[in-house]
Amino acid sequence: MNDTVQDFEQICADYYASWYRFHPQAAVEIGIYTYAGSLPPYDENSHRALIVLHEELITALDELSSSELDPDHLLDYQVLQGAAYLERKNLLLQDWRYHRPQDYLPIHALYQLQIRPLPDAAKQFLLLLQATPEYLSGARQLLSLRAEQIPAIWAKSAVAEATAGADFIDSLAVVEQWQQIPDLEYELQEASRAVREFATFIQHELCPRAQGVFACGREYFEDLLHFQHGLPITVDALYAFGQQLFEETRQALLEVESQLRGDGEPAVFPQALFTEHPQAKSLIRAYQQAMVEARSWLQEHRLVTMPVMEDLRVIETPEFLRHRIPFAAYQEPAPNDPAQQGYYYVTPAQGDELSGHNTVAIRHTSVHEAYPGHHLQFVTANMRSTSRTPIRLLNASATLYEGWALYCEMLMSEQGFLDQPLSRYVLLRDRLWRALRVLIDIDLHVNQLSAKAAAQRMVDELGFEPQQARAEVAWYTESPTVPMSYATGWSMICKLRVHQQQQQGFDLTRFHDQLLSCGSVALLVVIQHVFGVDTAQNIVNDLFTNTTK
């Protein structure tokens, strides 16, 4: 280890020792529990201190001789430099304290303590409960100062999340894990009351005044493309890519529909084709079975190296998350979890809602969320020393983890696991959905499309139910560039595989292992690191011809 590497590691250690205090929940997610009983500070001194922390980091990185770093440390350097630039800019231009009421809620922080292997979880849990009333009282004062800056859609989402969150807190009274806490019932009641009052405050005081703009704008959107996702492209190039993919996928889907229906009538979501689904009481069991089958099939066919230690529990989606998760989702384990136990969330359904949980879709979803999708990828990242550095764990890019999961659906179809008659239809339907996300992502944040118009477009183009479309668009407004990442990442992996297949001695398993060897950071950065800068540039040129910056 040379002096430059030592200097870089010391810079990182000093930076994160301070950074964790401002982001206690993110720290818990990667296994750092120093501030597990705290909520993010929002006083003016803390806000200024965090800005200064990033300025000092940027200066220290600029002064470092990065050319003397080995490839793995250079990758970390590149990712950290981009992350520091983005967070500093966000703090200066989009101060979360005045326009993101949802970020004050302690619900997810409480839930994290329930699923993470903390040695003193009960103590930290009590500290969070006790801090909640005063914390939310201060939040109300700040939000009142500039309520007009709050986007109406965020205020409405925060009401739903707070209401469901209060119910979640009430439900914790019977959780065995917390029974040792003194005066548990009283502490839960006080925290729940504070969250309900916060919801009422948002609904009656903020919602009538909320008229802020959720769009991040072209400049910041392109900053995210460049510094978070490693993509040296313009918004316009990305939009053109999305349009082409959407039209190509639409035509392929219509052809499959015509074959299935036998009459050539286009209907993007013919639900009559999906009448086979489990009963409501058997829903979790159906997902569990599909997950086990995918895992067994993958072990037999060895398409990618399986982690030595891992576990995945299929459970009902926590109630406070259900308004955001209509079907299923995944929660990865912390890197220091010895069991590497992830959670596969399935949202309960009744009546007509069960058609979305049809047997074909369940199988596809289990490939995407479990094996070889999210669970395998995140656990693989956790098990490698170079890919579980704080830098890589805290700066994941959806171009890799969502691009990989979408690619896995295609892979498991090619290899014969997703072999039901309707599997090709589901594959293309989901790809069309992800292609449309590219367009709506940009339209919302750059082209001034309203949330209402975006939701209607999903209803018209995809046949979504209005409520589902509104829920989709709500999270798109909060997470610029994440929606575009699914289809963009999938396309890059497909291009990369074609390129590598032309090389002598290509091995599919080795290709997948290489792709997952660097963690969850920006896919194009991983391609540069593993497969070479020229290969990465060729992929960009193929997908975004003559549009690089």
Residues 398 and 459 occupy one common structural domain: yes
List the end-to-end C-alpha distance of the chain, in Å, as a whole number.
35
Q: What pLDDT band is residue 266 in, cutting at 50, 70 and 90?
A: very low
pLDDT average, residue stretch 390-395: 98
Q: Say what the pLDDT of residue 278 is.
A: 85
Residues 122 and 243 occupy one common structural domain: no
Residues 55 and 16 occupy one common structural domain: yes
Q: Which residue has the higher pLDDT, 22 or 327?
A: 22
Q: What pLDDT band is residue 181 in, cutting at 50, 70 and 90?
A: very high
Q: Is residue 283 part of a domain?
A: no
Q: 123-146, pLDDT tens digit by residue? A: 999 999 999 999 999 999 999 999
pLDDT average, residue stretch 416-440: 94
Give the least confident one: 279-283, 337-341, 364-368, 445-449: 279-283
pLDDT average, residue stretch 50-79: 97
Q: What pLDDT band is residue 548 in, cutting at 50, 70 and 90?
A: very low
Q: In the sheet that 311-316 helps form, which strands lie side by side, from edge to edge? A: 311-316, 341-346, 328-331
User: Cβ contacts of residue 469 below 8 Å, gap of 6+?
Assistant: 455, 456, 458, 459, 462
Residues 56 and 190 occupy one common structural domain: yes
Q: Is the pLDDT of residue 469 over 70?
A: yes
Q: 235-244, pLDDT tens digit by residue? A: 999 999 999 9
pLDDT average, residue stretch 148-154: 98
Count of structural domains within the chain: 2
Q: Is residue 510 part of a domain?
A: yes
Burial class (CB in 10 A: 0-12, 13-18, 19+), 154: buried
Q: Say what the pLDDT of residue 354 is.
A: 79
Q: What is the mean pLDDT of the chain?
A: 95
Q: Is residue 504 part of a domain?
A: yes
Q: Is the pLDDT of residue 66 over 80?
A: yes
Q: Say what the pLDDT of residue 464 is.
A: 87
Q: Is residue 502 part of a domain?
A: yes
Taking a C-beta distance cutoff of 8 angstroms, is the pair 277, 359 a contact? Answer: yes
Residues 94 and 65 occupy one common structural domain: yes
| Listed residue (32, 33, 47) closest to 88, CA to CA | 47
Encode 180-214: b = buried (16+ Cβ within 10 Å), e = exposed.
Answer: ebeebeebbebbbebbbbbbebbbeebbebbebeb
Taking a C-beta distance cutoff of 8 angstroms, is the pair 82, 521 a contact? Answer: no
Encode 471-500: b = buried (16+ Cβ within 10 Å), e = exposed.
Answer: bbbbebbbebbbbbbbbbbbbbbbbbbebb
Residues 83 and 229 occupy one common structural domain: no
pLDDT average, residue stretch 297-311: 96
Distance CA 429, CA 422 (A): 11
Angle at Cα 18 formed by Cα 14 and Cα 21, nearest 5°?
155
Among 141, 174, 206, residue at a domain's last position: 206
Residues 387 and 423 occupy one common structural domain: yes
Residues 181 and 249 occupy one common structural domain: no
Residues 399 and 452 occupy one common structural domain: yes
Q: Is residue 277 part of a domain?
A: no
Q: Is residue 288 part of a domain?
A: no
Q: Is the pLDDT of residue 274 over 90?
A: no
Q: Which residue has the higher pLDDT, 522 or 360?
A: 522
Q: Is the pLDDT of residue 381 over 80?
A: yes
Distance CA 57, CA 45 (A): 18
Give the least confident one: 117-121, 303-307, 367-371, 432-436: 117-121
Distance CA 131, CA 391 (A): 29
pLDDT average, residue stretch 476-482: 98
- List beta partners, residue 331: 343
Q: Is residue 334 part of a domain?
A: no
Residues 195 and 236 occupy one common structural domain: no
Distance CA 235, CA 438 (A): 10
Q: What pLDDT band is residue 275 in, cutting at 50, 70 and 90?
A: confident
pLDDT average, residue stretch 283-310: 96
Q: Say what the pLDDT of residue 421 is.
A: 81
Residue 141, token pair as written in the block: 């004062």
Residues 56 and 162 occupy one common structural domain: yes
Residues 435 and 372 occupy one common structural domain: yes
User: Cβ contacts of residue 174 below 8 Å, gap of 6+?
Assistant: none
Range of the domain at 119: 3-206
pLDDT average, residue stretch 421-433: 93
Phi, psi dihedral angles at 333 (to 5 degrees): -80, 160
Q: Is residue 87 part of a domain?
A: yes
